[in-house]
Amino acid sequence: MQYVWISLAAALAIGLPALCTAWAQSRIGPAVAASLAEKPQLGAVAVVLLAIPETMVILGFVVALMIVMRPGG
């Protein structure tokens, strides 16, 4: 039964940040497209703004690995 809870915790550690990232990028995407239509020189800023939410998923993956690979488990 312990493995079920560990698996659920790892899945939530990846799943919830992934959902939040998808929501954030759905808001950022249209704003970036409108900004680039008016000022094409903001391309580097657009890439950074789209990459920042992705770090949440990467950190969630690291936390999930820490949950699954914990010593004594």
Which residues, other chains included, contact 51 with Cβ-Cβ below 8 Å and sequence gap of 6+?
none
Q: Per-domain residue ranges for the chain?
A: 14-68
Provide DSSP, 3-68: HHHHHHHHHHHHHHHHHHHHHHHHHHHHHHHHHHHH-GGGHHHHHHHHHTTHHHHHHHHHHHHHHH
Using 50, 70 and 90 to split pLDDT, how confident is the model at 71?
confident
pLDDT tens digits for range 19-68: 999 999 999 999 999 999 999 999 999 999 989 999 999 999 999 999 99
Tell me the pLDDT band of 72, cut-offs 50, 70 and 90: low
Q: Which residue has the higher pLDDT, 72 or 6?
A: 6
